Amino acid sequence: MRRTAGKLADGREIIYFDDSAEAPPRVAVDSRDLPESQPLSEVRLDPLTREWVAMAAHRQTRTYKPPADLCPLCPSTPGRPTEIPEADYDVVVFENRFPSLAQNVPDVPSTVDGEELFARAPGRGRCEVVCFTSDHNKSFGELSVSRVRTVVDAWADRVAFLSTLPGVEQVFPFENRGEEIGVTLSHPHGQIYAYPFVTPRTERMVEAALEYYAAHGRPLFGDVLEAELRAGARVVEESAHWVAFVPAAARWPVEVVLAPRRQIADLAGLSSVERDDFASLYLNVLHRLDALYDRPLPYIAAWHQAPVNVGRDEMWLHLQVFSVLRTKDKLKYLAGSESGEAVWINDVTPEQIAERLRGTHN
């Protein structure tokens, strides 16, 4: 893998990750006349739940469902410059033009309306876009094993760097796929958020992991993984270094977790052989997911890893892939119980989903 860093016309960073050193040099210049990016993000604390909420009103003007010939994530062509100046690329990462969080946001008062109950802070972090391929019509599951390996290297590179930024407490790589999920750019891509706080879900996982380790002297996720392997009923795929399974308390009608067999805090900690092994296993899982309803499955793929400053010895890296599609043409809506009280009601058992996924042709 070869890494080449550059700048876009408005000063945002762009980094090319090529499958091999023999790829063409990445020297194209962004010819657009762009104003310097000036995001106005801030975060406010909900005093009732102690959860931070990001405010990013400047994102209202972001690109929304453009036609394929105007896709901003495709390579640039003569007369039509895009976010990627090169005429072709393997994997590319760049700072989001419409970020929810950014380093250059202005300071804000520490409270809203001077009320101590309503804490407020700058939305200081970073949001990056990860393009998996220059081919607009491909999906992640259609990538080659070697390309997925390059993507993993790109994720690991960004996690290592973003974790060093001032004020960043958690780094979250993810992919949204499909209009049912809310995707507004159909080009195969993901994102990485570097938050100035620990997210609610991760905070709860850290708390659970710390309590379990204090009581048992073992990592919680490791014991969960061993229990899943002993039961076997929910295991979908196994390899030398990874296990894919449907969680025993799965929230979503389709949900698979991919976890390394050894404890690793974050993506940057994966060894070379673990990265190779993940690339093959993940493609197998994605093929099974697309075969489940004999159609491209809309999904969210979310990397859960240790925050920057807490839980490093207790957390266990894993990828959660889940879908809102409960049948071939029916969506699982997050209605009253899920959205109002965060209590999920699943219409299918995890064992049923695991059995169906094992039965698909990958």
Instruction: Detail the residues annotated as belonging to a binding site for Zn(2+).
Output: 71, 74, 136, 187
Helix (H) or strand (E) holding 6, with range, is strand 2-7
Please choose, from the candidates 298, 24, 37, the residue with its C-alpha nearest in 3D space to the C-alpha of residue 134. 24
Residues 54/101, Cβ–Cβ less than 8 Å: yes
- C-beta neighbour count of 319 within 10 angstroms: 23
What is 103-161 written as a DSSP string? TTPPP--SEETTEEEEEEEE-BSEEEEEE--S-TT--GGGS-HHHHHHHHHHHHHHHHH
Which are the contacts of 252, defined by CB distance < 8 A and separation ≥ 6?
322, 323, 324, 332, 344, 346
Residues 320/276, Cβ–Cβ less than 8 Å: no
- The first and second tokens of residue 62, run together, are 């972001």
Q: Which is catalytic among the residues 189, 241, 304, 318? A: 189
Give the residue numbers of the binding site. Answer: 71, 74, 136, 187
What is 226-282 written as a DSSP string? HHHHHH-TTEEEE-SSEEEE--TT--SSEEEEEEESS--SSGGG--HHHHHHHHHHH
- Rounded Cα distance between 229 and 244, Å, is 10
Can 216 be counted among the known catalytic residues? no
- Rounded Cα distance between 271 and 262, Å, is 11
Residues marked active site are found at: 189
